[in-house]
Amino acid sequence: MSTNYYRRGRNPTTAIGVLFIVIGAIALVRQLIIWTEDFVFEFLLNSEITSEKVSVATIGVGVFIVLLGLRKHASKG
């Protein structure tokens, strides 16, 4: 096998990023099911820190971690 071959399937950074995205999505979908869309969007747009904003931030952090995991690795020499 070539030394330049990088196995993306064994990248723990991408797995952690996907976990963050799933956790944020579950919390956001749960709020949408319990409350109506208008009620949840009201909490997204007000000035207080709410669980909906934390869920969106968690999804954003997860996307950032996935992008870090998918970047190309520099060759060793």
Domain range for residue 52?
Answer: 11-70
Confidence of residue 22 (pLDDT cuts 50, 70, 90): very high
Is the pLDDT assigned to residue 72 strictly greater than 80? Answer: no
Per-residue CA distances from 66 to 8, 72, 75 (Å): 11, 12, 20
52 in a domain, yes or no?
yes
How many domains does the chain divide into? 1
Q: Is residue 57 part of a domain?
A: yes
3 lies in a domain? no
Q: Is the pLDDT of residue 5 over 60?
A: no
Residue 33 in any domain: the answer is yes
Q: Is 2's pLDDT higher than 70?
A: no
Residue 43 is assigned to a structural domain of this protein: yes
